[in-house]
Homo-oligomer: A and B are copies of this chain.
């Protein structure tokens, strides 16, 4: 390792910022040199995150976001701010020569009109949509490695797309009848102070939300359509789990022809053969969110039901790690020429 890569983080106070800080503690080739927040500037990281006490990162002083300063000090910048806020900062930073990994939705949707229809805001930097690379390394490894601007995928889309990719690519399933029933831990709802996210409103309960118009829908459909080679519309439902982290998507598809579990499993194993961060589980095993907790693994379990002719795909990720900051770090590693998994913990915390 010749030189340490310098990284910046815009928006340190949410759960994705917090998670990126956690991961950077153990990265030996990349150092966090800037962390910004409008509300907390001037404090040290350990002041707002006591878990960083006595760690080197804990002494980093939070600054106001400033594109010029970030461009001056950083090789790569992570944007962990809400959609719409990210688009202008991203553009400024790229123009100043910094590589950007944007964790917001602003550059994920290729089509400006689709973005504006689902997100209800104007996209003022649509000129960059073509250049932005969708940061799912299992699908776009080569493009990511040469990119200036990464659109880091959403948490639900990561789980759904990785779960369906092999089946669609191999033409195993009908493209017209896909149901994605997804369940997420509460960190996916963000760190905003809302009554609905209080402990007493989430614990010991379970509910669906946002049906049938969750904003991750167009992102999922865009990528599935590319994989399937045709326009794909899906039923996508989201639920709130009383856990901190984790997404499990149960995906229902119709097999095009009678297909054995062996054959499906072989197709999945082959598709992910050289992609070690997706684990196709042995036949008969189903994923559990705890088995990927704190890691960038996507665990996939496969079920063939001959009674109904369905292939049911179970796909589990950690929504904060693989679904946000961990994948952002995978992408940053790649665009900076490092190994994809540098600095990333491989062993989940059990229990």
Residues of A within 8 A of B (CB): 15, 18-19, 21-23, 25-26, 49-55, 177, 179, 181, 183, 186-187, 191, 193-195, 197-209, 211-212, 233-235, 237, 239, 241-246, 248, 250, 252, 276, 279, 281-282, 285-294, 297, 299, 301, 303, 305, 307-308, 310, 312, 314, 345-351
Contacts and interface: CB of A to CB of B under 8 A. Distances in A.
Contacts of A206: 183, 241, 243, 246, 248, 288-289
B203 A285 contact: no
B250 A286 contact: no
A235 B200 contact: no
Contacts of A53: 279, 281-282, 291, 299
- Shortest 5 CB-CB contacts between residues of A and residues of B: A205-B290, A212-B305, A200-B351, A25-B347, A207-B288
29 contacts: A18-B350, A19-B350, A51-B290, A51-B292, A51-B350, A53-B282, A53-B291, A55-B346, A181-B181, A191-B198, A193-B195, A198-B198, A198-B199, A199-B199, A199-B244, A204-B293, A205-B243, A205-B246, A205-B289, A207-B289, A208-B250, A211-B286, A212-B303, A212-B305, A212-B308, A233-B307, A244-B351, A294-B294, A349-B349
Contacts of A312: 211-212, 235, 237
A220 to B, nearest CB: 13
A51 B177 contact: no
Contact of A346 (B25, B212, B245): B25
Nearest to A278: B54
Contacts of A351: 15, 18, 187, 200-201, 203-204, 244-245
A198 B199 CA distance: 5
A23 B349 CA distance: 9
Given A191-B198, A307-B233, A349-B22, A203 B244 contact: yes
Interface centre among A19, A26, A54, A351 (most CB of B within 10 A): A351
Contacts of A241: 206, 241-242
A242 B243 contact: yes
A299 B206 CA distance: 13
A162 B343 CA distance: 31
A204 B51 contact: no
Contact of A199 (B55, B197, B303): B197
Contact of A49 (B209, B237, B293, B350): B350
Nearest to A18: B350
A40 to B, nearest CB: 12
